[in-house]
Structure 1
Amino acid sequence: MILTDYFRYPRDLTWEYARQCGIRHGVIRLPENAEFDICNLFHWQKIHRDFCDFGLKPTVVEPLPNALHDHIKAGDSKRDESIEKVLQMLSIMDQLDIRTLCFNFMAYIGWLRTDQKVPQRGGAYTTGFRLNDFTPPESPAITHRALWDNYTYFIKAVLPAAEQYGIRLALHPDDPPVSQLGNVARIMTSFANIQKAMQILPSNFLGVTMCQATYHMMGENLFQVIPALKDKIFFIHFRNASGNKNDFHETFHDNGDLSMAALMKLYADCGIHVPIRVDHVPAMTGDKDLSGYGTTGRLFAIGYLKGILDAHFISYC
């Protein structure tokens, strides 16, 4: 496995914690402000150099910047302009040897939780989702058919460039994996639909982000899904949770529904060697970020992940 962590830019405390935990590779979120031009190689080089100088090699870009992806998913008047920028982005990633792009296809409503203070052991908190507590926001409507059409348009437009530049496109499932949120449809909500997404234009450069707890919330059996997708798993979100797609919450990585040690052994048995990062960590004492991307909680999660890898003699870097 390639151990990574999730980093925003500019540098913050998570960079230091990760290096102190032995992390040497980065999943980077690109700046989303007027000062950063996604088509400007110089802007990318500055960010890349800052990470590398700190001892973190950018390995995955996550997410595909919303300023582009929102138009692509909606299929609106700025879609083609946004896709052109994605193509330039892939060229720059190739020049900087960043080989994986994590993207999703959740239009209008992305990653969603209805509660950010679900009590956990010792006074920690995690996030949770309960469909009965969801209040639909004001947003345009979109149908399942329109989403599939927009996804197909996007994949056909960018996959040839991804193949040309050697960039792996890793599709993240919808989280939560429910088929409808108000008037907004969701499509990446089952293993069958993920397979459909892979088959629209088969390629060695189109695969998945195995967000393991999300697949579990779909009601899928990970011990069947992971072997079936083993050649398509380009990136792993190491995450645990408890419940079902209509009512669930994150947990500490050692006390959710999933057997994390057994899953790591399964990845190894399937010959999967890809970037992996801890995800949706608990907010522990002192953490101000309650979204699952705080600082202290990731220390536990990274240590737990490394302990599992060592216990199973799974190599990592």
Structure 2
Amino acid sequence: MKESWRWFGPNDPVTINDIRQTGATDIVTALHHVPAGVTWPIADIKQHQALIEDTPKGLSDLKWTVVESIPVHEDIKLGKPTAQQYIDAWIESMQNLAQCGIKVICYNFMPVIDWTRTDLNFQLPSGAYALKFDQERFAVFDLHILQRTNAELDYSEEELAAAKALFAEMNAAEITQLTNNIIAGLPGKMTDAYGLDTFRARLAEYQGMTKDTLRQNLHYFLSQVLPVAEQLGVKLAIHPDDPPRDMLGLPRIVCTADDLDTLFTALPSVANGITLCVGTYSSRPDNNLPQMAHDFAERIHFTHLRGVSRDPNEQRTFYEDTHLGSDVDMVAVIKNLLAAEARFPDKTIYMRPDHGHQMMDDINKQVNPGYSGIGRLKGLAEIRGVIKAFTHSDTHHA
């Protein structure tokens, strides 16, 4: 596997020179300044590429190899008449990236919201801070802050009572913080920051949309993108919905192994692949990550390695644990990913340590939630150790 690192561009508190010190060789990034639905110009791609690849003399080279992500415009997900112009722009962006030698593209098909957490500063017993999704607090947002129409139909009587009680205890600052955590936009999100009214309007556009319809819109998008990707030698890697279940009345269609089977049965193109985001998939107890790493070996072009620990009393609640200490058997996942590369000798899987804890000197710094330097470096070191243990040749033994 190739060690990679996510970089948010020149304003990222973790600089290119910082990343070089981690030992990672490949950069995962995007043109975050280009709005969704607009073609990425070659000049902008090359300028961004130069920031990464123009290496000062005597220092290790870095290479931009993975795009995360080209945003898919909402009109494509909604299947609007305007969708075609945005599909064409997406294809043009892919062509321009390929012309610059960048041929692995992560993307997602989540309606309205991207990855979602209720707490960006959940303190662990170690004193470090993690990201957390709390189902009860999410219910508070849905029922009492957003006040989504018919939201109560998605919750049990016990959940309704608990959310009402918790909301009554929250002060204005806590309500604002919870709202911002969910809808105000996070680094790397492929959606815009919303106000509540705009957010409600966005949700209303999806009223009545079923999983089947959303899936048809994904398939239509890919039916046009994949033939071009094949010609270019580009590998597409769809990211799962995070958390991987229906939310806010929105259908989600990339949540389970069955969802992936459906996708590949419908569109078996060799360019059609996945980002195995271990933390996202494992926030559902019915997803077996070592098994998925084995079963989808040929389709995995990119992987996010992190783990979550779920609340035993409420499996929809989870926090992002250490990379090796979560509910996920990360050692088995890594073993199967290495086996995937061995089974398909032409395959390269790019991996990056996903969200790290905010810890040590980073606690007092302004960092992108989940993307502090030290926490990810710790995760990378742990993952690197597992990989080294599996790949260590007998000839190195004393």
TM-score by length of 1: 0.91
CA shift, 1:314, in A, is 6.4
Distance 2:370 2:257 in 1: 25
Q: Which structure has the bigger radius of gyration?
A: 2
Distance 1:167 1:269 in 2: 23
Name the one with the larger helix percent: 2
- Among residues 61, 70, 73, which one is paired with 2:67 in the alignment? 61
CA shift, 1:94, in A, is 1.4
Checking the alignment, whether the CA contact within 8 Å between 1:213 and 1:240 is kept in structure 2 is yes
Aligned residues: 311
Structure 2 counterparts to residues 208-223 of structure 1, below 5 A: 208-218=274-284, 219-223=286-290
What CA deviation, in whole Å up to 9, does each residue of 1:141-167 have, x standing for no partner?
332122112111111111111111111
Distance 2:68 2:335 in 1: 25
Task: Determine whether 1:252 maps to 2:322.
Answer: yes
Checking the alignment, whether the CA contact within 8 Å between 2:34 and 2:40 is kept in structure 1 is no
SS at match of 2:90: helix
Structure 2 counterparts to residues 20-31 of structure 1, below 5 A: 20-31=21-32
Task: Determine whether 1:111 maps to 2:112.
Answer: no
SS at match of 1:241: strand
Which one-letter code corresponds to 1:5 in the other structure?
W
Structure 2 counterparts to residues 92-107 of structure 1, below 5 A: 92-107=96-111
Distance 2:364 2:330 in 1: 26
- Among residues 249, 265, 273, which one is paired with 1:183 in the alignment? 249
Checking the alignment, whether the CA contact within 8 Å between 1:5 and 1:26 is kept in structure 2 is yes
Tell me the residue number matched to 2:350: 275
- Among residues 142, 150, 157, which one is paired with 2:217 in the alignment? 150
Distance 1:125 1:7 in 2: 20
Tell me the residue number matched to 1:298: 376
Which one-letter code corresponds to 1:197 in the other structure?
L
What CA deviation, in whole Å up to 9, does each residue of 1:137-196 have, x standing for no partner?
522233212211211111111111111111101011111011x21221111111101111
CA shift, 1:243, in A, is 0.8
Tell me the residue number matched to 1:193: 259
Moved more, 101-110 or 288-297: 288-297
TM-score by length of 2: 0.73
CA shift, 1:88, in A, is 0.9
CA shift, 1:77, in A, is 4.4
* Percent of matched pairs sharing the same residue: 31
The alignment yields a C-alpha RMSD, in angstroms, of: 2.1
Tell me the residue number matched to 1:308: 386
What CA deviation, in whole Å up to 9, does each residue of 1:34-70 have, x standing for no partner?
7xx73421121111122111432111100123xx433
Moved more, 182-191 or 285-294: 285-294
Runs of at least 4 residues of structure 1 off by over 4 A? Answer: none
SS at match of 1:162: helix
Distance 2:320 2:259 in 1: 24
Tell me the residue number matched to 1:9: 9
Checking the alignment, whether the CA contact within 8 Å between 2:341 and 2:349 is kept in structure 1 is no
